[in-house]
Structure 1
Amino acid sequence: MADNGGASSDEEEVKGLESPDVVTKYKDAAAIANKALATVLKGTVAGMSVIKLCALGDKVITDGAAAVYNKARDASGKKLAKGVAFPTCVSVNHCAAHFCPISTDEFASVTLAAGDLVSVQLGVHIDGYVAQAATCAAVRDAPADDAPTVTGKAADALTAAHTAAEAALRVLRPGRTNADVTDVIKKAAAAYGVEPLEGVLSHQISRNVIDGEKVIINKSTTDHKVDTVTFEENEVWVLDVAMSTGEGKARETVARATVFKRNAGVEYMLKMKASRAVFSEITAHFPVFPFSVRALPNETRGKLGMTELAAHGLVTPYPVLYEKEGAFVARVQVTALVLPSQTMPVTTLSAPVATSEVMLEDEELKALLAQPLGKQKKKKNKGGGAAAAAVAAEEPPADGDAMDTTSPSA
């Protein structure tokens, strides 16, 4: 059983983006996430089972993490924890999030059909520094086919999500607020005639923390509001944008949660032997980051024990959410570093393979999208040293992992 993350020694100093080593770890985690995302998308072919795609994404992450930082040690002399920070989820059409079936439930047999809109979400960490990513694509008829172009209302949702994410990255700067980003998402949705999905939050993250207290809400309503916060230098954010062709509300239905996260600090004397065994496994192997029941040694026991664990708050479930039947949900997720001189997206945000018939006319969005993202590369100090390291830390990812910042064409 692969560990997806163990918090290193509590006494170890938690470094931020001021450290070039930390920036490098975020970039390296993002490179693995980008590869896993691309591999899963390549496998989205008619007839492919969703459970196999989820397992494939997790394997690419585990193998990629196993190949790096093998000589590195933390302050206590232990090997660095690395691996899955969020299990691969493949949500189809009106499924909004967290569809990650296990072999012992009724959804293990779900397969893809040509033309389905799939949303792939996953996360990687190296030494507790997380890179998360999500994107959408249409299912191909055959492996050799190019990804089909998304059209119709699904294309409107996908283009709106991508437009909002691109514009939001340009707003994600010190001195601006989460309300500014929410407003950008609202404008993009209105421009393409779709709805931002309620209940979706973007989180500030830090080492071993995937859901920080500072958040951006995808859609602010009377029932769903968050406190206004101001962005600061050297923060890391996972920007999460979800658009729907339906009413913008997702609900739990028949699919049960299979992704959970350990609630640190919560204790309870479990009554069932199976629950105690499962909790011991979680504490040992998944103390920090979300995990799938599929990652436990015994799925059947894990499924049984998780019910008692969740009932007493020892774990938090990530519910499988659905929009109304017939709707499409498009999700885009990108990890971004708010550096002093630029906001650097480290996970891929490629232009969608979609053709929307809607022309973007919102002048504020057009002005934002016209702004360059990033900065010109500086020449490295030939003498090396701290100055050269600082420049290197703020350089964008290598070309193979760089984000496509081209504005989407309507």
Structure 2
Amino acid sequence: MIDLQQLRDEPEAFKASQRARGANVDLVDDILTADSARRAAITEFEDARAQQKAFGKRVAQEKDKDAKAQLVSQAKELSDRVKALQADADEADYTFTSLASKLPNLIIDGVPAGGEEDSVELRREGTPRDFSADGFEPKDHLELGESLRAIDTQRGAKVSGARFHYLTGFGARLELALLSLAMDTAQRAGFTPVITPTLVKPDIMAGTGFLGEHADEIYRLEADDLFLVGTSEVALAGYHKDEIIDLSDGPIRFAGWSSCYRREAGSYGKDTRGIIRVHQFQKVEMFSYVHVDDAQEEHARMLSLQEEMLGKCELPYRVLDIAAGDLGDSAARKFDCEAWVPTQGTYRELTSTSNCTTFQARRLSIRERGEDGTRPVATLNGTMANTRWLVAILENHQQADGSVRVPEALQPYLGGMTAYGPEGPRYS
């Protein structure tokens, strides 16, 4: 939910944000009109209710029987009017709330306008490997994974359908090593490890902004009225719902480890090979509650931790400032890190980090105490590692003999394993 007072004071800023997103600019005026109608309806109802209370006292004080009967009749008419005005106020409030819930977060100054193709590359780190210098043609991650008995998509499809997979042997160990490294890196940076629920109530899912235009990406269990999360951000945002939290000692930081589920609606025919775009995956996600004034600094901090992880995995990558039209409803700014995938000859997204300002906290009623009462906090989130990272790790670190070199930072999590090949693990 947006800051209503800011919307009233700065409607042109919200219209500019909508234009940058490629979204409906008229929605801003529609919300303001509905807000005026709602306030007028509430005022009329409250005035009538005040009159009703005053009239009730008059009825109670009347001693004359005939006069009192007449007053009782008038009181009933007034009661009927109050009920009608309350219904009008409720309807006006519903109309306003329905419209306001459709307005995405106000973007931060400097965010590129436009859609996905308009995102701005900020920098590149590392040099993509020249496999011709090593004398062999790289295999894609699925061919490697199958040859190493690490990835099995055929049995995943047999058991669960398209876009499901098994990770076995080295594949399973590598994912656990990666996520453990991510969790350790996050914890050293002050994030508390959390194993989160993967099923949440509708109000939690709506509060984080995921039931907007991308609601078709979410799995819903209709019999139980619960949703499967696509990221532990949802459960972590809901952790402090309806609470006043204490940020006097600094941000509250969580690192959530969970299974994640996405329907991948609209992706028919895209990335059907391997495990780049799947329905179920594992992820470690950073989540922070901070003072509003500290949100941009926390955002930069999260990005630096993501880049630290990419460096530890020895992956060439680039950083993008994501365009407004590709932010999603809740983000005011988002940075993506994309790693080089040799067989595709391009960079593919491995991490995102979003500054959601007060958008989620307002929806979930998460506040802190200030000098003038309570105020919403800012929330931020960012990927530390997920299953898709295996694609880049396998492809970038493959060797001519069909083995895969283990990045040095991951070796302690694999018992000192330095490489894994068709014949098994290597420890030297």
TM-score by length of 2: 0.24
Give the number of the structure whose alpha-carbon radius of gyration is greater: 2
Query: Larger RCO: Structure 1 or Structure 2 (Cα < 8 Å, ≥ 6 residues apart)?
Result: 1
